[in-house]
Structure 1
Amino acid sequence: MPDGHAPEPDIDATNSPVRPYILTWGRQNCDVVRLDMISVVIAARSDVDEMALEPEQLAILTLCRRPLSVAEVSAHMDIPVAVVKVLISDLIGRGHVLARAPYTSQSPVGRDILQAVLDGIQRL
């Protein structure tokens, strides 16, 4: 420190907790639908105006050509789940992706699903 100035701290912007929230313009809540970490997301259509979307949204559309959970999308993109939820919510609002809660033990099961399971068991 011979010139009297303190050295600047070494800041890695990629690991900053602020950077991911820039992707959502600081929004932390989903506007369209309530998503949780195990909500399943899939691309709804292929005719997308790529110029109207952010690069991260395009990456989500590419990943979601096959069904993925919100947590899986977050892991693939290395972006916090809260940020991914907002980005997915925006895509749902534009009709680019569909999301649904996964089936659980409390989910009502339709007769057609039960019949398909029974038919499969009988074929064994």
Structure 2
Amino acid sequence: MVRPYAMTKGRTRPDGREFDLIALVVSDVPDSPDLPVGPEQGLILHLCRGNALSVAEVAAELDLPLGVVRVLLGDLLAAAFIRVSRPVPPALLPDEHILQEVINGLRAL
């Protein structure tokens, strides 16, 4: 068993930006044993290869603390092994009333 501080080299925060729990992580890196990543980061790349998972889902799948996963994701992002898309802020989402009107309009057709 590897201690979390060993996986993150003693860091408690990712270098660069913070990751929201619902931010989506995708890896387009082909499966290769030659990548300069640790075993946990390799698992993250495998999980997210062609499949968008939230930061929370990655932490749950790996059974690792969220802080550790955020640090590992920060390293992968800095190395350009993953893409992270930010969630849409609630203020930019369409109003529920407008969506209901669209549904009603479509049903009227």
**Would you call these one fold, judging by a TM-score over 0.5?**
yes
The DSSP-based 3-state class of the residue aligned with 1:52 is coil
Structure having the higher helix fraction is 2
**Matched residues, number:** 98
Q: Distance in 2 between matches of 1:50 and 1:41?
A: 21
Q: Which runs of 4+ in 1 moved over 6 A?
A: none
State the shift of 1:49 in Å.
5.9
**Relative CO higher for 1 or 2, CA cutoff 8 Å, sep ≥ 6?**
2
Q: 1:53 aligns with which of 37, 48, 71?
A: 37
The one of 69, 73, 85 aligned to 1:100? 85
Residue 18 of structure 2 is matched in structure 1 by 34
User: Which residue number in structure 2 is paired with residue 115 of structure 1?
Assistant: none
TM-aligned CA deviation for residue 105 of structure 1: 1.9
> Gaps spanning 5+ residues in structure 1: where?
1-13, 110-117
Aligned CA-pair RMSD: 2.5
Change beyond 3 A, Cα 1:108–1:62: same
Structure 2 alignment gaps of length 5 or more: 95-101
Separation (CA, whole Å) in 2 of partners of 1:101 and 1:73: 15
- The answer on whether the counterparts of 1:32 and 1:90 sit within 8 Å (CA) in structure 2 is no
Distance 1:28 1:77 in 2: 18
CA displacement at 1:42 relative to structure 2: 0.5
Report deviation, 1:61: 0.3
Query: CA shift at 1:32, angstroms?
Result: 2.6
Matched residue, 2:6? 22
> In the alignment, what sits opposite 1:44?
28
What's the % identity of the aligned pairs?
A: 39
